[in-house]
Structure 1
Amino acid sequence: MKDSKQGQTPIEDLAELRSYFATHNTFREYIAHSSKVHSVGWSCDGRRLASGSFDKSVAIFNLERNRLVQDSIFRGHTGSVDQLCWHASNPDLLSTASGDKSVRIWDTRSHKCAATIATKGENINVAWSPNGSTIAVGNKEDLVSFIDTRTYKVVVEEQFNFEVNEISWNNTSDLFFLTNGLGCVHIMTYPTLELQTVLKAHPGTCICIEHDPTGRYFATGSADALVSLWDVNELACLRVFSRLEWPVRTLSFSFDGRLLASASEDHIIDIGDTETGEKVAEIPVQASTFTVAWHPSRYLLAFACEDKDPPERKRDAGNLKLWGLPNSG
């Protein structure tokens, strides 16, 4: 198997995947923030990992072979950084959504804030269209604002009359997806925002949604503790992952679409095989996990838990972890 800076060769066989992770299940922990980490994400070239925190800052790490090295800390938000999203093809640009009623664009090469866009409410979700032209941001009042990245201005706002949870684009940027409190996935055309269809995906609140990098699947995670895997073209549910026992908060697909990581308040992160639904591996954790992100070309998973600092375990630790490292160290 090729395992270089360029990436890995996908593994086809379930038994091979399991044996690979039997020898690559070590993790390293890094101190990133002074309070809990809400969101982690990789740049498109896989060279940088960003984390956003309740402490209002954004940390940038460089991946050097099998370890993360802190590069910089971005400050400027005056509220919690709740979600971040990198540009799909420019590895230097990062967007962050904050409770301070703004979205910021950061240039990791110049270490500067490239733009600050004022929005109408406390933001909780952000999604950058794969073609790079638009950033969508959702707030606590279920208003979704669309920002033109050429002008850094809000070009359209859509108010929903139900609880909007996570938002996402398909890989061709012409469909916009959102999950809601009624267990549904709403799919709209973009840029016209005409409702195409409503999928009744779960009996409980539909919390998170993720599209796979190959464009075959999307997955939804729900308060019913289930993860559903969907065929993008047929809009048919292919299989359900049911190994977690708590509401599913976060999902991530591996670069080849083969692995789906899902996490919750369970003290494991589940790694499932999208082709069979079988468990490939599980990562033991000490606390609830609210963000996971597979590397864009390697079987490396970044994640952050609601860990507490020892010894009193009263204060939130702002740590992030990297899993999938070779056991030999």
Structure 2
Amino acid sequence: MSQPARPRLPRIPKEMFSPHFKDIHNQPYHESTTSARSGAAAHHKLRHIAWNPLGTVVATVTTDKTIRAWIAGKPELRYSTEFRGHTATIEKIAFNPAKETELGSVSNDGVVRLWDVRTKACVNEIEGMGSAHSLAWAPDGSSLLVANRSGELFQVSPAKSAIIATHQLPTEVNQLAFCWSGEKVFLPMADGTVRILSYPDLEPVVHVNHAVKEGESSEFMLKGHTAACLTTEVSPTGRYVATGGADSIIGLFDTKDWICQRTISRMVGPVKCLSFSFDGSYLVAGCEEGSGIEVTHAESGELIHTFKTAGPCEAVAWSPTRYCLAYGDLGVLRIIDADKKSKGS
């Protein structure tokens, strides 16, 4: 289940993390937010953030149905690219793991769009997915899995303009995640469980080790939330599956025995997204409430550092190649890079 090898920077030990980051200032990536009619500032909340596989481009989604791709390290607006085309709220974006210039987006308009951030073009769109709100790429980049609020799963291909297959589940599926081999997919459900299904067959792959009553399912599911499970994320090492719930709880499950190794209950609102650092050592979460981004050490569950923010951070994402954290704060993309001791605000 391990993630394919990528260039790695030196690892920062737990005890050195906070001292290393305490003097590093964030770099704001300012987008024009001035209304043409009134001249007033109009802040659009950042809903989601995604890095490309090389960590050279970071894309954001705002509440005004706009996607913007930024070149990492170049915060000026002229170096960014805007993408428009969805007619309803954009819920999620994700780069093709095998093609660093291809970005996928899913919207409540029921359409998945594929964008080329190099040519600035929409290269494909697949319609007919209802109130779609979740997507994830298979690790080899050959297909995407999309979920909507009616419990439907859609398998789509970046090279085809029609849905490949549809699968109906009994309850709503939230932000799903693949294991690094692509053989399993983790589905966070509205009932608080996480299903583990095969891909592309979408059949249960883990079963309980005891007898079940006639008519009962033997499917084993991850259980750790008292409300809807909203998001999942797999550690780059493949050791853990992190789950985030509407109950403000984060669960860390061992992928060998499927046991919940630890529960993190410091969040003050529903957990909207999760992100592991490139080495799997550190975990951050996005939340609509509170302030500050808390960094958790995955092995111990300890809070080791808090990045101060002006408001809640719903969208946070570690770079896949280095200790570089992107997050949205009061509508502005900000990046903290361990390699740059900049003094920007």
Normalising by the residue count of structure 1, what TM-score does the alignment of the two structures yield? 0.88
Inter-partner Cα distance in structure 2 for 1:141 and 1:286: 35
Instruction: Tell me the matched-pair count.
Output: 310
Question: What is the alpha-carbon distance in structure 2 between the residues aligned to residue 48 and residue 279 of structure 1?
Answer: 29
User: Aligned partners of 1:226, 1:200: CA distance in 2, in Å?
Assistant: 12
CA contact (8 A) 1:33 1:55 kept: no
Amino acid at match of 2:334: K
- Out of 107, 124, 140, the residue aligned to residue 98 of structure 1 is 107
Shift of 1:208: 1.1
Q: Is this contact kept in 1: 2:232–2:241, CA < 8 A?
A: yes
Give the alignment of 1:10-25 within 5 angstroms.
10-11=11-12, 13-24=13-24
Equivalent residue, structure 1, for 2:242: 219
The whole-number CA distance in structure 1 between the counterparts of 2:32 and 2:113 is 19
Alignment match, 1:266: 290
Whether 1:8 aligns to 2:9 is: yes
Counterparts in 2 of 1:284 and 1:159: CA distance versus 1, 3 Å: same
CA distance in 2, matches of 1:93, 1:294: 19
Deviation at 1:152?
4.1
Contact 2:52 2:96 in 1 (8 A): yes
- Aligned residue for 1:121, secondary structure, equals coil
Cα distance, 1:50 vs. partner? 0.6
Give the drift of 1:29: 2.2
Deviation at 1:284, TM superposition (A): 2.1
> Which structure 2 residue ranges, 5 or more long, are not aligned?
1-6, 34-43, 206-219
Q: Which residue matches 2:256?
A: 233
SS at match of 1:64: coil
In structure 2, what is the Cα distance between the partners aligned to 1:14 and 1:51? 29
Q: Does 1:288 align with 2:297?
A: no
Rg larger in structure: 2
Partner of 1:234, secondary structure, is coil
2:105 is aligned with what amino acid?
T
Structure 1 vs Structure 2: percent identity of aligned residues? 30
Query: How far did 1:32 drift?
Result: 3.6
Residue equivalent to 1:304: 328
Distance 2:76 2:123 in 1: 25
Matches of 1:16 and 1:286, distance apart in 2 = 25
Aligned to 2:334: 321
Go from structure 1 to structure 2 and tell me whether the alpha carbon gap of 1:292 and 1:33 turns closer, same or farther (over 3 Å shift). Answer: farther
With over 3 angstroms needed to count, the CA separation of the structure-2 counterparts of 1:45 and 1:182, relative to structure 1, is same
Structure with the larger strand share: 1
Query: 1:261-280: per-residue Cα shift (whole Å, max 9, x none)?
Result: 01321212111111111112
- Does the 8 Å contact 2:273/2:314 carry over to 1? yes
Q: Name the residue aligned to 1:206.
A: 229
Looking at structure 2, the residues matched to 40 and 83 of structure 1 have their Cα atoms a distance apart, in angstroms, of: 8
Amino acid at match of 1:226: I
Retained in 1: the 8 A contact 2:148–2:172?
A: no
- Structure 1: state its 5+ residue gaps: 1-5, 308-317
Work out whether residues 54 and 79 of structure 1, in 8 Å CA contact, stay in contact via their aligned partners in 2: no
